[in-house]
Amino acid sequence: MIRVLVRVVIAVAMLVLASLIFTLAPNDEQTQAPVEIPISIGETGTGRNIEVTVHNIRLAEVVEADGYTPWTGTTPGVWIVVDATMSNVVNSTLPSGFLTFDGLTYFASTRPDSESLVGARLTPGIPTTGTVLFEVPLDVIQTSEPVKITFAASSDLRLDSAIVLSERLDELEIEPAILLEGPETGG
Amino acid sequence: MTAWLRKNRWYFVAIAVLGPLAVLAAMSTDWFGYEQRVNGRPILVAEGDNVDFAGAEWSLDNSFVVSAESQAGRSADLPKNTELVVASVRINPSGVGDVSPSCTIHLKDRDGQRTWDTALGIDVTIDEGASSFCDSTRLDSYLLQVLFLVPEGAGEGSRLIIETAEEAPELLSIAL
């Protein structure tokens, strides 16, 4: 009788252990999540195929570009202007950038076309300096919660690395207009 | 319990050996497939070699490096701390099927760690009659001339990689 009881207890324990492992095991999203490399302003982060330095963050009501594709960008919200230097590490890609706040994701604006750093093709070992723009509602910058800005070598972040900057924006002043300088290669 | 373990010891040994072997065998096909997708099967081409590949004869005509600090580099407005690798490849289509091979072209550094695409928007005049891409309409012998903007010093010992859809995973790896 005791031997039967022991076997039942062992069987139940193994079932509990199996369900625990099944519950705790990472799902596909977790196993394929990018390796995040945190940086602060002025610091360089190097991932598998992207190296990023964020020099400055500014806010603006209007952004203007007078380079190859002149453009004036107005918005009912606000522009977050990120001055950065990026390069690839192993092969050439079009980088991606997005901002996350309060469960929402704002992708880097493509409205400035080639005047944005995320519209520029990067090159391994050759830095490109420029700006990345995020067009966001005012409440994103009016909170003391930091926003999370992520840069990656491409739009597919699975099993790759991502450079991540967390920054509070509520102490920055909103400038009436900012003139963009198009991406500049070399340095 | 000890007697039970002793009685079944060969089964445990079999599991310990065959388990990892089964995992390795199952993963090896994926590994070889992955390795081939990443690196391909390079056909190494040295200077002066003529190689038949993808229905044409290929040979390196010449290659040189232009430093950003040189007169030519300043004229081309090359970015600081960069150099331009210029490679010319003679392509002689065999004429079979009235087609000339299309291809994709990259440059790999000496260690094979970094890869560059052909450079766009560089103010350099290529040889008259040369093509900047594999021109599938050219059935006669022609010169393919490609430019790569790389960090200073990266051009030395680099290799030109030429791939075609038909011959993949085989590819040409031409020493510059």
Q: Is A86 a member of any domain?
A: yes
Q: Which amino acid is at B170?
A: E
pLDDT at residue B33 in the model: 77
Q: What are residue B120's phi and psi, to 5 degrees? A: -115, 155
Phi-psi region of A52 (alpha: psi -120 to 50; beta: other; left: phi over 0): beta
Q: Is A5 a member of any domain?
A: no
Give the contacts of B120 (CB within 8 A, at least 6 positions apart): none
Q: How far apart are CA B174 and CA B162, in angstroms?
A: 8
Residues of B with CB under 8 A from a CB of A: 68, 78-82, 113-117, 149-151, 154
Q: Is A40 a member of any domain?
A: yes
Q: Is A78 a member of any domain?
A: yes
Q: Which tokens in the block code for residue A45?
A: 């982060």
Q: How far apart are CA A178 and CA A85, in angstroms?
A: 18
Q: Is A11 a member of any domain?
A: no
The CATH number of residue A123's host domain is 2.60.40.1240
Of the pLDDT bands very low, low, confident and very high (cuts 50, 70, 90), residue A70 is confident
Give the contacts of B146 (CB within 8 A, at least 6 positions apart): B86, B87, B89, B105, B118, B132, B133, B160
Residue of A nearest to B117 (CA): A92
The residue ranking higher by pLDDT, B3 or A37, is A37
Q: Is A121 a member of any domain?
A: yes
Quote the mean pLDDT of chain A: 92
Q: Please name the member of B82, B114, B117 whose beta carbon is closest to the beta carbon of A186.
A: B82
Q: Please name the member of A89, A123, A186 whose beta carbon is closest to the beta carbon of B116.
A: A123
pLDDT at residue B41 in the model: 86
Residue A75 has pLDDT above 90, yes or no: yes
Q: Is A126 within 8 Å of B117 when comparing Cβ atoms?
A: no
pTM for the whole thing?
0.81
Q: Does A91 touch chain B (CB under 8 A)?
A: yes
Q: Which tokens in the block code for residue A44?
A: 């360089």
Q: Are A148 and A40 in contact (CB under 8 A)?
A: no
Mind listing the pLDDT tens digit for each residue in B100-139?
888 999 999 999 899 999 988 777 777 777 888 888 888 8
Q: Are A95 and A50 in contact (CB under 8 A)?
A: yes
Of the pLDDT bands very low, low, confident and very high (cuts 50, 70, 90), residue B35 is confident
Q: Is A100 a member of any domain?
A: yes
Domain count, chain A: 1
Interface mutation vs chain A, best among B34, B84, B111, B116, most A CBs within 10 Å: B116
* Nearest in space to A180 (alpha carbons), one of A137, A122, A129, A144: A129
Which residue(s) pair with B142 in the sheet? B91
Q: Does A126 touch chain B (CB under 8 A)?
A: yes
Domain of A102 in residue numbering reads as: 34-185
